[in-house]
């Protein structure tokens, strides 16, 4: 091959390479241009979208401004529902808020918490102030001492209390007064009859076990254990009560025990291990025997059967 031939081949190869380079550059530039256009289009569409949204918001604001600032609540004649600007913008429609409706919702939430706590419905009205201390036929103890013990639990100066005595003397009233006040202060409260507790634990043995039951009654800021010593303890009764009261002792939380039996009977029923846990947190106790207030007006059930 001559030198000329070689030069021609090299020149042709060089030209091909340069042509390919140029083609690639053109391709790149076209792609870049396409990207620029796409970005521009996206930007335009976003800005159009924002403009539309702004226009819509402005129109909606104008619409809101034209509405009456308050209207009478449909559910509560006489109660003014006020136009809530922020809530309206969020919902995309006019939102009127009635304070009576809001109060109803709060009352419903409280009712739900009261029911969930287990506080019996017949004592949910109880306060320490509306406990009648002028009871007739006082045979043993004093009604005022019940109030004093309730106050000590309320104030936190005592950790545990046993209120014992004949039926209808107001043990549940005192316990409920403390429990409702605690619940209204936002604390978890639990109230359970011993027989119900034992049944729940027994049922749990064939389900998920008793841990969640124990947790509930240990975690409550105030626990009321009702019907202490009403029936003989089941085989695992002492273990169940000890687990809960030991957990509460460690957490430093308060427990009120209610019983229709005498204090010596309650003492024997609970046993040494449980008494030890109650005593280490100071346990106030009182036995009362005076006329029943059940069905009286003070118990909000004036219609005697
Ligand atoms: Zn209303």
119 alpha carbon to ligand 1 midpoint, in Å?
A: 29
CA 75 to chain centroid: 27
Residues 6 or more apart in contact with residue 29 via CB below 8 angstroms: none
64 alpha carbon to ligand 1 midpoint, in Å?
A: 20
Distance CA 215, CA 247 (A): 9
79 alpha carbon to ligand 1 midpoint, in Å?
A: 6
Residues 6 or more apart in contact with residue 218 via CB below 8 angstroms: 244, 247, 248, 251, 253
78 alpha carbon to ligand 1 midpoint, in Å?
A: 9
Q: What is the side-by-side order of every strand in the sheet holding 80-83?
A: 70-72, 80-83, 96-97
Residues 6 or more apart in contact with residue 193 via CB below 8 angstroms: 226, 227, 230
62, containing H or E segment: helix 3-66
What is the number of other CB atoms lying within 10 angstroms of the CB of residue 208? 9
pLDDT band at 296 (very low <50, low <70, confident <90, very high): low
**What percentage of the chain carries pLDDT values higher than 90?**
80
116-299 has which fold?
Answer: Rossmann fold (3.40.50)
In this prediction the pTM is 0.72
Is residue 298 scored above 70 in pLDDT?
no
104 alpha carbon to ligand 1 midpoint, in Å?
A: 8
pLDDT band at 297 (very low <50, low <70, confident <90, very high): very low
Is residue 299 scored above 60 in pLDDT?
no
94 alpha carbon to ligand 1 midpoint, in Å?
A: 15
Structure tokens at 115: 């029911």
101 alpha carbon to ligand 1 midpoint, in Å?
A: 4
Residue ranges per domain, the chain? 54-100, 116-299
User: What mean pLDDT is predicted for residues 99-117?
Assistant: 94
Is residue 227 scored above 70 in pLDDT?
yes
Distance CA 263, CA 105 (A): 43
Is residue 292 scored above 90 in pLDDT?
no
What pLDDT, in 10s, does the model give residues 177-186?
999 999 999 9
87 alpha carbon to ligand 1 midpoint, in Å?
A: 16
Task: Tell me what the pLDDT averaged over the chain comes to.
Answer: 92
96 alpha carbon to ligand 1 midpoint, in Å?
A: 9
User: What mean pLDDT is predicted for residues 157-183?
Assistant: 95
Instruction: Determine contact, residues 197/224, Cβ cutoff 8 Å.
Output: no
What pLDDT, in 10s, does the model give residues 42-81?
999 999 999 988 888 889 999 999 999 999 999 999 999 9
92 alpha carbon to ligand 1 midpoint, in Å?
A: 21
What pLDDT, in 10s, does the model give residues 130-154?
999 888 888 899 999 999 999 999 9
């Amino acid at each position: 091959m001559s030198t000329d031939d070689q030069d021609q081949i090299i020149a042709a190869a060089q030209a091909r390479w340069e042509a390919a380079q140029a083609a690639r550059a053109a391709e790149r530039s076209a792609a870049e241009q396409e990207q620029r256009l796409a970005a521009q289009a996206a930007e335009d569409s976003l800005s159009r979208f924002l403009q539309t949204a702004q226009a819509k918001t402005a129109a909606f604001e104008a619409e809101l401004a034209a509405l009456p600032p308050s209207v009478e609540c449909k559910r509560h004649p006489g109660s003014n529902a006020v136009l809530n600007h922020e809530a309206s913008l969020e919902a995309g429609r006019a939102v009127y808020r009635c304070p009576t409706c809001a109060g109803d919702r709060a009352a419903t939430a409280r009712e739900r918490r009261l029911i969930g706590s287990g506080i019996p419905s017949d004592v949910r009205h109880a306060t320490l102030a509306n406990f009648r201390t002028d009871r007739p036929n006082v045979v043993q103890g004093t009604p005022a001492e019940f109030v004093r013990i309730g106050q000590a639990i309320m104030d936190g100066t005592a950790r545990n209390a046993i209120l014992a005595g004949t039926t209808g003397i107001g043990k549940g009233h005192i316990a409920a007064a403390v429990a409702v006040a605690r619940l209204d202060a936002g604390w978890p409260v639990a109230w359970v009859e011993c027989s119900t507790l034992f049944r729940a634990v027994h049922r749990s043995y064939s389900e998920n076990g008793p841990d969640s039951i124990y947790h509930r009654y240990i975690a409550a800021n105030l626990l009321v254990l009702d019907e202490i010593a009403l029936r003989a303890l089941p085989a695992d009764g002492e273990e169940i009560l000890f687990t809960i009261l030991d957990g509460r002792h460690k957490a430093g939380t308060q427990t009120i025990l209610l019983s229709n039996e005498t204090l010596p009977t309650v003492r024997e029923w609970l046993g040494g291990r449980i008494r030890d846990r109650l005593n280490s947190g100071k346990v106030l106790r009182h036995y009362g025997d005076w006329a029943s207030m059940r069905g009286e007006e003070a118990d909000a059930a004036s219609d005697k059967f």
